[in-house]
Chain A
Amino acid sequence: MKISQFLPAAMVLVLCASHSALATTIGFSQVGSESGWRTSFSESVKAEAKKRGIELKFSDAQQKQENQIKAVRSFIAQGVDAIMIAPVVETGWKPVLREAKRARIPVVILDRNVDASGDGLFLTRIASDFVEEGRRAARWLMDETDGNCRILELQGTVGATAAIDRMKGFNEVIADFPDATIVRSQTGEFTRTKGKEVMEAMLKAENGGRDICALWSHNDEMAIGAIQAIKEAGLKPGTDMLVVSVDGVPDYFKAMADGDANATVELNPHLGAPAFDVIEAYLKGDRKVEKLITTTGDLFTQATAAEEYAKRAGK
């Protein structure tokens, strides 16, 4: 009885072992699936691994660092060829990274940072460049308005890296245009509700928004809320007031397709491909790897919004 129960399992194990002997095995510890962006990030990594014939061991940590550390330890025990971590927090990674180093397994950090740089504990970090996202949004707006624009800004949560860096990039670009000014800036805390509430008040403080040329929002959710506020103030978002944002969530593509919003810079969820590039090169013997590899998503406008929405909503 017992042996017959174990037999299929043993066979699977043998099959797995023989399989992994052929293909590269990579362990991936993901934070969880708290947002639509995170889900597409995981899906993209899985799809990319399948395409390249890499055997991916995927572990969902449900927002807990201890689960991530457990997963990494089990990857080390299984003797994978490389480990990818999308960390939930920055601190507390040194011991487990040291264990991986002792086992000579290269580690690639995705998305958020870990507080272990300079120690050579990981191969590289691949992340979105928030500053560049801000720059791209600003460049599009300056092109569209010839650099003459009074802007309302909806910031993300105070102190969040994404908010600080997007603001920095945007301001850097508009500094070259003397006629472009940010007249008001407040935090909408990255949420739809706050975006709408804050926008309502800003519009009233600025003469109903009649002299405002554009809204720059640090994420799509706030922009979607703000669009409703603009409509209720009797203006037409997208024409009377341009709307530019960052993220590329499906609902925002729908707003662009409807003509209510103008542009968004996609927060790139496709971090899998560059990570696999680095790992494959490293395993082939290429030891010269940049410590930080940044990627930036493309800017989407109303022109392609309808088909992009169909693509994303269908997913």
Chain B
Amino acid sequence: MSNLNTTAGRPPAPAKIKLPRVNGRYLWPLLGLFLLLAVNLAITPEFFRIEIQDGRLYGSLIDVLNRSAPVALLAIGMTLVIATGGIDLSVGATMAIAGAVCANLIVGGVDSIFLVVAAGLAAGLMAGAVNGGLVSYMGIQPIVATLILMVAGRGIAQLINAGQIVTFQSEAFAFIGTGTLLGLPFPIVLVLIVFALVQLLMRKTALGLFVESVGCNAGASYYLGINQRAVKIVAYCIAGICAALAGMISAADIQGSDANNAGLWLELDAILAVVIGGASLMGGRFSIPLSIVGVLVIQCLGTTIIMSGLPAKFNLLIKAVVVIFVLLLQSPLFQQQMGALFARFQKRTNTEAKV
């Protein structure tokens, strides 16, 4: 009897948590972002000033969007890869390869900007295909398979650049990083385009469902007739292409390809962004818009630290504290405990008021 009672008593509890979580999935990461923006408002009111200078929007908020473009692109690809239950550590190195390929083609005298961009994208696609092939056909653990390219990729980029920083002069290519379209910096436009394309692909075709199904249970998906290998390869290829675009933005931004530093550790920022966005690292649950919110939280934080004028040695610590806070906000258990604490506090004040 008592057994029956406890099992019968259980189901409502998850249902209770589930209700706020469905709403909360969008609420909590956004709340984190708004809190950060509020802190900025307190520190520097100028943060929200946006003016038009030389025909482009100019201001800190635009900077945050512009600077987050490479990580946002990485995060879009990373979201899909993580949704299939994988992880891609090589995107930072892929950025360096794509940047190096483009820079060397320009220096080598290729005038056609389309050819340069196509070559960069091809490099990214190839990197993605290698990762996807290793993971799906060779059955290698994603973290190991992509670690290979994470290490080797930077070496390949250094080889292409012959160990130097290759600088170039190309108005057309520089546009990718510093150009303006419709008053917005071009990287932001690029992110919007990629975001719209991938989001449509995921939510308006069956591919999104396939990705989630493979992430939840690859074996079951296989028996349902889903070609799980192809789905995984597609996810890694999209991640590779996104990384190549990010690499081109960062190379175009400084008009040079720095194989040692381009995209260094950005794969970790991308993973962090996806996690802040509430995706499950086990796969199966993902939201690209929320990953973008995660990117904005990270970038906004970086800008906040610089604007606040705190000594540089605090940077990483502050970042860690804020990330923990944002992740805690999303934890159902934490929410529950905070709620209970709040309720108890309220009760006490109520009883005190009565007395």
Binding site for B on A (CB under 8 A): 33-34, 36, 39, 155, 158-159, 184-187, 189, 191-193, 196-198, 200-202, 204-205, 207, 221, 224-225, 228, 232-234, 251
Contacts and interface: CB of A to CB of B under 8 A. Distances in A.
20 contacts: A36-B165, A39-B163, A155-B312, A158-B312, A158-B313, A159-B313, A184-B309, A186-B306, A186-B312, A187-B312, A187-B315, A192-B258, A193-B254, A197-B67, A201-B60, A204-B307, A205-B307, A225-B254, A228-B253, A228-B254
Contact of B309 (A205, A221, A228): A205
B306 A205 contact: yes
Contacts of B307: 201, 204-205
Given A193-B250, A193-B253, A224-B254, A204 B261 contact: no
Contacts of A196: 253-254
Interface centre among A33, A36, A232 (most CB of B within 10 A): A232
The 10 closest A-B pairs by CB, nearest first: A187-B312, A201-B306, A191-B261, A192-B254, A205-B307, A204-B60, A201-B303, A186-B306, A158-B313, A158-B312
Interface of B: 44, 46-47, 53-54, 58-60, 63, 67, 163-165, 167, 178, 250, 253-256, 258, 260-262, 302-303, 306-307, 309, 311-313, 315
B63 A201 contact: yes
A251 B258 CA distance: 13
Contacts of B250: 193
A107 B333 CA distance: 62
Contacts of A201: 60, 63, 303, 306-307
Contacts of B163: 33-34, 39
Nearest to A234: B53
Contacts of A158: 312-313, 315
Contacts of B53: 234
A234 B312 contact: no
Nearest to B256: A192
Given A36-B165, A201-B307, A221-B165, 16 more contacts: A33-B163, A39-B163, A185-B311, A186-B306, A186-B312, A189-B261, A192-B256, A192-B261, A193-B253, A196-B254, A204-B46, A204-B60, A224-B254, A228-B253, A232-B178, A233-B58
A193 B265 CA distance: 13
A196 B251 CA distance: 12
A185 B313 CA distance: 11
Contacts of B311: 185
A234 B165 CA distance: 27
B306 A202 contact: yes
A135 to B, nearest CB: 21
A251 to B, nearest CB: 6
B71 to A, nearest CB: 12
Contacts of A205: 44, 46, 60, 306-307, 309
A33 B54 CA distance: 43
Nearest to B167: A251
A224 B312 CA distance: 20
A204 B63 contact: yes
A204 B262 CA distance: 24
A251 B254 CA distance: 12
Contact of B258 (A155, A191, A204, A207): A191
B258 A193 contact: yes
Find the residue from A158, A191, A204, A205 having the highest chain B CB count within 10 A: A204
A214 B341 CA distance: 52
Contacts of A221: 165, 258
Nearest to B54: A234
A234 B302 CA distance: 23
A204 B260 CA distance: 29
A205 B256 CA distance: 27
